[in-house]
A and B are shown apart, each in its own frame.
Chain A
Amino acid sequence: MRSVVKAVSIILIFMLIGSLHTSAQVSATANASVTLITPIAITKTVDMNFGNVAVGASPGTVVLAPAGTRTATGGVTLPVTTGTVTAASFTVTGAANYTFSISLPSSSITLKSGANSLTVSTFLSTPTPTGTLTGGTATLNVGATLNVPANQAAGVYTTDTPFTVTVNYN
């Protein structure tokens, strides 16, 4: 009787330990997540063009706003025949509703006509200083100031190398 009880007890203990061991391991399933976004890109759609500019005996400037309107200062005048006047325009694409920073040329660039040259400085953009990719796209317009010395030689002045506008996600 005593040994039977002992044997049953031992079996019980083993069963108890055995079952607790099997149920001792537990697992949890968890989520991991990441978001990938479209790389930002910028494409030029329109070149900057100051149009026709008449020089005078004193220096002056032509301020071309990002909206494409011109204002003359100093000895410079704007002929009735305007020629082609356009602010530069860029299309920026990327992740919808992300904002981006805009980097414009920080120093002046040079336009040349043969041996003669002019400088363009003070670049401005719309939007500024950041833009938003509404629906994944944004239009970026860039204007600048053309600096015209007195009695500048006539000619068609263009850049040797294009100026650079850089955008990046904020």
Chain B
Amino acid sequence: MKTLRTLLVIAIATFGFATTSFGQLSATVSNAQTTATVFTPITLTNSTTLKFGTFVSDAVDEKTVIIDANDTRGGTATAYDLGQTPVSSAIFKVTGTPNATFNFTLPATTTELGGPSGSKLSIASSSWVTNLASGTSVGTLSASGSLDVKVGATLTVPKSSPAGNYSGTYSISVNYN
């Protein structure tokens, strides 16, 4: 009987000990959940395509077409749109944790736009621009956890480039900073 009581005390003590341990584990898991909230997965989608428009390629000189981050076009090439091909900066929608900041990474290598007969036009990696604060590549998500980032670039058109449609792909990355 005394032995049984001892066993019972040990059992209770063990149980109590286990309970205490569980309690600590719960507290730790709670901390982990707080950490996880900060890292709600960030997402990135391209909602508007980068469109430079329509141009006559020059027979003598290399020309440029510049689209800034506000759909405005410039550069040395002569544009002939006739309302057929709207010009647009690219728009990338970033979603994630409200008010979080993120790094917006532009292409690090030259982007090529392929056209007829294997001809190519190029976008230099240094020419990409965004509507994020000047000189930074950091954005801040809104209180609802999203931000549209507008992206522009400079297209180089070699002289005597053949007529036709040119297109190419490039990649943008985001991550929390």
Contact = CB atoms under 8 A, between A and B. Distances in A.
Contacts of A35: 53-55, 85, 164-166
A31 B36 contact: no
A161 interface: no
A32 B53 contact: no
Interface residues of B, number: 59
Nearest to A12: B32
B55 to A, nearest CB: 6
A17 B59 CA distance: 57
A13 B27 CA distance: 12
A52 interface: no
Interface string B158-173: 0001111111111111
A5 B153 CA distance: 54
B65 interface: yes
A90 interface: no
Interface in B136-177: 153, 155, 157, 161-176
A33 B51 contact: yes
A169 to B, nearest CB: 4
Contacts of A84: none
A23 interface: yes
Contacts of A38: 56, 163
B50 A32 contact: yes
Using C-beta atoms within 8 Å of the partner chain, give the interface range for chain A.
20 to 34
A29 to B, nearest CB: 5
B49 A30 contact: yes
A100 B111 CA distance: 33
A17 B82 CA distance: 53
B82 A31 contact: no
A42 B161 CA distance: 20
Interface in B27-47: 28-29, 31-32, 35-36, 39, 41-46
Given A33-B165, A35-B53, A28 B92 contact: yes
B174 A36 contact: no
Nearest to A94: B56
A34 B155 contact: yes
18 contacts: A1-B17, A13-B28, A17-B35, A24-B39, A24-B42, A26-B43, A28-B44, A30-B90, A30-B170, A31-B168, A33-B52, A33-B113, A33-B165, A34-B65, A35-B54, A38-B56, A169-B56, A170-B82
